[in-house]
Amino acid sequence: MKVGILVECGRQGLESVVCGRLCELLSEHTGVEFEFDIMPMDNKKNLILECGTATKNLFASGCDRVVILWDERPAWPKKDDKLCWHNDRQDILANLRENGVELQNVHLVCIEREFESWLLFDERMLSGVLSTDSHKVKIRRQKNPDRMPNPKGTMTSLFQRNGGKRYVDIQFARDFARNLDDLARLKRCTTFQRFGLKVTGRTI
């Protein structure tokens, strides 16, 4: 089986890099062997406007199913923005239909609130990223990362408080991936459970 995954970042961006590691762990966890092709769409706007063409290309390249992954929270939210993944979903479905994509093997997964929400579920992984040889860090379990109003802001604060590091997602993407050892903590997240199901076809 081959799975295509559309993500809203650049080629070396956070989702592109970490989703590759997540797919490896999902295969180990479920026993489902699959290839994956992660297609970066640069940003959420491009993902919504170009998902139809990108999905057709993934199917043409041999993918059996395609998962479209996006954040509920805009990258640069305005003060009065109301989160509504329903509108994003309708726009994505409309673009797929306009491009003649048959929907039975296309699966939509919206992350509440954003990709950092998933990362904040794994305090052990975060501890590994923030630790150095001379200073070990132990991050506490975060409460309901998928309900935080600003997960990226929480991540920024964790980095500042633990080593005074400036959080830039693309710079730490490979560190996150290297320190992801299992799915035990991420499985607490409902939207990640959905992602795992749609990627592998099995409940995680």
Q: What are 128-187's pLDDT values in tens digits?
A: 999 999 999 999 999 999 999 999 999 999 999 999 999 999 999 999 999 999 999 999
Tens digit of each residue's pLDDT (9 = 90 or more) over 78-111:
555 666 678 999 999 999 999 999 999 999 999 9
For residues 62-79, average pLDDT: 84
Task: Name the percent of the chain lying above pLDDT 70.
Answer: 95
Q: Which residue(s) pair with 39 in the sheet?
A: 6
CA distance linking residue 62 with residue 81, whole number of Å: 39
Non-local (6+) Cβ contacts of 100 within 8 A are 52, 56
Looking at residue 180, the DSSP 8-state letter turns out to be -
- Among 159, 162, 187, 182, smallest CA distance to 171 is for 159
pLDDT of 80: 58
Whether 73 has a pLDDT exceeding 90, the answer reads: no
Query: For the chain, what is the mean pLDDT?
Result: 95
- Full-model pTM: 0.94
Q: In what order do the strands lie in the sheet with 2-7?
A: 35-40, 2-7, 65-71, 106-111
> Cβ(176)–Cβ(125) under 8 Å?
yes
Q: How many CB atoms lie within 10 A of CB 136?
A: 10
pLDDT of 111: 97
Tens digit of each residue's pLDDT (9 = 90 or more) over 17-64:
999 999 999 999 999 999 999 999 999 999 999 999 999 999 999 999
pLDDT of 4: 98
pLDDT grade for 75, boundaries at 50, 70 and 90:
low
Please give the helix or strand (H or E) that residue 96 lies within, else none. helix 85-98
pLDDT of 85: 79
Tell how far CA 203 is from the center of its chain: 18
- Among 167, 161, 117, smallest CA distance to 139 is for 161
